[in-house]
Each structure stands twice: as structure tokens, then as C-alpha cells.
Structure 1
Amino acid sequence: MTDEPAGGSASRRKFLTAAGSAGALALAGCTQSGDDGGDGGDGGDGELSGTIDIAGSSTVFPLATAMAERFQQEHSEVNVNIQSTGSGGGFANHFCPGRTDFNNASRPIQSAEEEACSENDITPVEFTVATDALTIVVNNEMDIDCITVEELRQIWSAEDPPTNWSDVNDDWPDQELELYGPTDASGTYDYFIEAIIGEEGPGHRQDYSATEQDRTIIQGVEGSENAIGYLGFAYYSQNQDRVTALGVDDGSGCTEPSLETARAGEYTPLSRPLFTYAKQESLAEEHVAEFARYWIENSTSQEIVADEVGYVPLSDEDQQAAMDALESAIENAQG
């Protein structure tokens, strides 16, 4: 792999994995917030102040954290609370009930979620913030370097799921499969079904160790010679010495997950856009609007998005489209 985050990110990786294991993060100087996001705007002297609440995807969690940390360095009176709840868990339990200002997601919002938001007079505004290379990982002792889409489908499908590695491929060891992956509240889970198993297929097998914490997936695969799991590329890139990433063959040859292959559209079918959804009503508060602007303005940053976190930044064209959509939403909220 060639995408180890650049120098100076070792402490960053340690912070992210520790924060990810807790599943929620109240960034430095933050306080616990109420459901309404607290009083916002400026502190009377032009300084932004208030609380911003964010829930949702564990995959987007490290990117949201990186953006929030930097924003708070510039605006110390703004408190940003981030929870890693899974995309679906964030929409159902936090965003659509009106408890958060943003919901991170590793797949698009679903129609039922839009309806739930509408029932509570919540208007979600979608922003693409990066591209991920969903990564298949195995134990470092497993003598496999590539897996086909069909083999992945066999391993994870609910229809006649294999017990041993050799049930899938005769060249693989006659050892019992041990599987780790996200819960069904995760957008990564939903995307994996869409890309690998098929939405009209038999569904995702349920006899696996499911968790909303990507660090737990890394720990599980690292600890068992016969384990396999899947998660966002950022968490793999922070733990490349602990597990092995498999190349994926979609029928045109094996391609390793990396920022380069995801950016070039070569890592198929597991390259995917990552999103955050802003509550338009929250954009009426200046500190929320400014944080959204800050995130989109920095969505093209190689240093933050790629080197520090491990995702593909937006192109200038995509960033401009996102900024145009944001300014329109802010105008609607504040007008």
C-alpha cells in the first residue's frame, strides 16, 4: 500500500483509534449539549459561539473530527459534539428527531429516512465530502492477497453461507471462517449489500461479529488467523501493520484499495462517496453555517482529507457544486 498518512500523523492515528473505540467524541473544551443545539450565533463581540451536534457514520467520523478540531482552534467558543452511531442509527435516533445539526453517512439518505425527517419538519441537505475505498481485511498470517467479488458474495451472503475458507476456494485453508463487520445500522453495511451481495439478493449473513466500532473490527481480525472483515479505508490506513488488505477482482483483474485507485475509479465496486447531511433549519445559526462552510472549503485539502484521515478529497468542481448548494440552503434558512 502506498497511502500511509504523511509524517506527523502518528499521534493523530492514536487519537482517532482511541476516540473511535469510545464511539463518541466531545472535542476539547466541549460541553454536553441539549437536543436543540443550544444558543448559537456570535458572543456579542463577533466571535462565534454555540454548540454543534453531529452523529452518524463511523466511516465519516474521523473526517468530521479532523474538521471540527481545526474549526475549534479558530473558534474556541464553539463546542462540537460528535457521536459514531452508524449512518442509519444517526438518522433514526438523532438527526430526524431533531437532536443533531448534522448526520454523517457512508451511503445516501433513504426515502423512509427523508419521510421521518419531514414529519418532524427537518430538511436534510446533502453534501458529498470525500471518496472512500471500502477495504477487505484479513489476518496477517492468512496467505491470500486477492479476492473476487463472487468469493466475497459467497462468504457474506445469507444464502447457504460457507463454514470454512476452503468451501469458497479449494486453494484456501480448511479452517473455519471468522467474520467481523459493521452492524445493520451502518451505511458501510448497506453499501456492502448493494455493491457485493445485491439489493435483490438473499441478504447479509448474520452469524458474524457485528460492531459499530471500526477499531473492534481491526482488533478481531488481528487476533484470529482465520478472520476476515470489512471497513472504511481510513481505519485500515491507520492500522496497516496490524491487518492485511486484500485486492478485489471485479472481473478485470485484482486492484488494491488505495487513494490512487479510488480516485481513478479503478477500485470497483467498493469505491464510494461519503456524505454529511446538514439540517437546513440549523443553518440559521451562524456558528453552524460557518462550520458547514469550513468543512466544504477544506474538502479539497490533500493534507486533511488524504494525508491525515485517509480518503480522497473532492475535486474543485465538486467542491464548488457543494458550496453553491450550501449557500442556497443557508439563504433559505436565514432569509
Structure 2
Amino acid sequence: MVLGRQKFNRYTLGAAVTATVALGVAAPSAFSQNSTIQIDGSSTVFPISEAMAEEFMAANRGTQVTVGVSGTGGGFKKFCAGELDITGASRPIKSSEAEECAAAGIEYIEVPVATDALTVVINPDNTWAEDMTVEQLAMLWGPDAEGSITNWSQIDSSWPNEPIGLYGPGTDSGTFDYFTDVIVGEEGASRADYTASEDDNILVLGVSGDPNAIGYFGLAYYLENQDSLKAVAIDGVAPTPENVENGSYTPLSRPIFIYVKKSSLESNPEVRDFVEFTIDNAPEIVPEVGYVPLSAQRYEAILAEL
């Protein structure tokens, strides 16, 4: 089924990117028994899930929400194996993943939670690639570029004859799937000679430490690291919430989701309460962690259908 406070730096992006974590609890409980809600999946969606978990547990002592990062594909593997209540996804579920869930008897609800401006980033010392075209990005990241497009001057003859340092998400990432689809023209089609990681903080460190580096990941990770990164405008349009809302930042604007296991939703009141809490609080928390909220009417419709 498809359903259509404090500032950002309170919600740290590095706290649980490489391993599942349990966040702290406080305040009175609405439930009488201890309960654990298991969440994993997309590193892009992680800042939203982490922030929601903090706020939810602060109001519900005895309910523990664990938030891990395995990438969108890795999260769906765990989700379809019955290991999770909720998984974050930076792309819709693939037909092969849906079939895997169906074979395991896992029914789910898809809940859009925000819009992301997938962001291409360079080092602050880079003054030549501040604006790139989709065609230039495709030339740089396509499979044919492997081993052949290695210097900046090969993209544009006026750019330096310096080696390009490439950083991007791994193949389990929904960001990898989306970027290759809309930039290269085929999902999964990419050069392989780059530093890949499901941990976006590793990509941040790589680009910020190399004057000739370029990479891509979700908007939240750029906004949290603006002092050490520079965002690339795509065809003259910068990745800002305003440009996402007015529709000018294309083709790298995309919806991001959580997928909720129906059996958890139906049998565990804490899971239902957490999902409703997420939708209710998205208009406030989503922009705080660096993404663009959906319209109030859209959230109301999602909540009503849920």
C-alpha cells in the first residue's frame, strides 16, 4: 500500500551511521510495557528517523527505538527478512524487493516523509566546477568514464589538468540507484573506480580533505557540513529548499520514504504511535534536519489514510 524545538545541529548525523544504536529515553510513558522499535535502511533518511526517535522516546519512557544504517537496499533485505519494523528508503521499493517481501509474507505500507535535494559537492578550494550540467555529470560518472576520465580538464578544457577524486554511495544505496538513473540514464550504471561508502560521513571527509574531489549524497549532509564543502549548482540551479519547492532543482529532487511492516503496525501500538508521531511532527522536524517537508495537506492525507 502506498500513502500518499531545537535547531538542526541537535540531531547529529554521525551518531549511528556505521552501526545500529539505541537512543536515550526520558519523560513519562504512554505505554505500560517496555517495547523496542527496530529501524534501519537509508543513510539519507537516517537524520529524520534519528530525530523522530529522540523526540518520541523523550515522551515515551519504556519504548526504545533503535536506528541503524544499512543503505536502502540493505535495509530492504533486513525488512523483507522480518528483522525490522520500519526501514528508510531514498527510492521506492524495487519489484524484486517487493517480490522478496511477498515471498516471506511481509506486507508493508509506503509512507513518504520528505523531499530531498540530492546534492553534488566539491571541496571549498574548487573554483572551477561550481556549476555543472547533467551532461558533464553523466560524462564523469558513467561506466565508460572508468579509467578514462581521470582529470578535470577532460570534462572542460578550461578546468585544471588535475586528477579527480571521486566519492559516492555504495551499490546498496538508494542514492546510488537514483543518481545513476537520472544522471547516467540507467539505474546502477556507474564507473566503479571511486571511493564508495554507505556512510555519508565518510564521503564528507573524503571530499572535504581533497581539493580535487567531488561526491554526492543527501542535502542534510551538505547542510551540516557547509563549512567544509561547496554545493554544485546543476544547470545553474543550486540545491536549496526553495528551489526544491518551486520545482527548478531537477532532476535531483526526490521523495524519501519510510516503509512500515503492516503486522508491526497492527500488533504493536508503539509502532503505530511512532509512525503517527513522525507524520504529525514532520513539518517541524524535517526542515530542522535539512530536508524539505511535504505540504500540510499531504501529511494530513497520509495520516488519514494510515
Instruction: Normalising by structure 2, report the TM-score.
Output: 0.92
Aligned to 2:184: 197
User: Aligned equivalents of 1:26 and 1:172: distance in 2?
Assistant: 47
User: Aligned equivalents of 2:162 and 2:31: distance in 1?
Assistant: 64
**Displacement, 1:172?**
1.1
User: Aligned equivalents of 1:134 and 1:23: distance in 2?
Assistant: 23
**Displacement, 1:109?**
0.3
Please tell me whether residue 287 in structure 1 is matched to residue 273 in structure 2: no
User: Where has structure 1 moved over 3 Å in runs of 4 or more?
Assistant: 6-10, 45-49
* 1:59-138 pair list within 5 angstroms: 59-92=44-77, 94-138=78-122
Please tell me whether residue 321 in structure 1 is matched to residue 301 in structure 2: yes
Aligned to 2:153: 166
* 1:268-283 pair list within 5 angstroms: 268-283=250-265
User: Aligned equivalents of 1:138 and 1:276: distance in 2?
Assistant: 29
For the residue of structure 2 that corresponds to 1:19, the secondary structure is coil
Q: 1:176 aligns with which of 141, 156, 163?
A: 163
Name the aligned partner's letter for residue 171 of structure 2.
D
Name the aligned partner's letter for residue 230 of structure 2.
T
How well do the aligned residues superpose, as a CA RMSD in angstroms?
1.8
Aligned to 2:204: 218
User: Aligned equivalents of 2:14 and 2:63: distance in 1?
Assistant: 24
Contact 2:16 2:68 (C-alpha < 8 Å) held by counterparts: no
* 1:247-286 pair list within 5 angstroms: 247-249=233-235, 254-284=236-266, 285-286=268-269
Name the aligned partner's letter for residue 157 of structure 1.
G
For the residue of structure 2 that corresponds to 1:299, the secondary structure is helix
Name the aligned partner's letter for residue 313 of structure 1.
P
For the residue of structure 2 that corresponds to 1:125, the secondary structure is strand
Aligned to 1:34: none
**Displacement, 1:74?**
0.6
For the residue of structure 1 that corresponds to 2:144, the secondary structure is coil
Q: 2:132 aligns with which of 147, 150, 154?
A: 147
Aligned to 1:17: 14
**Displacement, 1:7?**
7.3
**Displacement, 1:266?**
1.0
Name the aligned partner's letter for residue 317 of structure 1.
Q
Question: Which 5+ residue runs of structure 1 have no aligned equivalent?
Answer: 1-5, 31-42, 327-335
Name the aligned partner's letter for residue 70 of structure 1.
E
Sequence identity of aligned pairs in percent?
Answer: 44
Aligned length: 296
**Displacement, 1:323?**
1.1
Question: Which 5+ residue runs of structure 2 have no aligned equivalent?
Answer: none
Name the aligned partner's letter for residue 320 of structure 1.
E
Aligned to 1:312: 292
For the residue of structure 1 that corresponds to 2:70, the secondary structure is coil
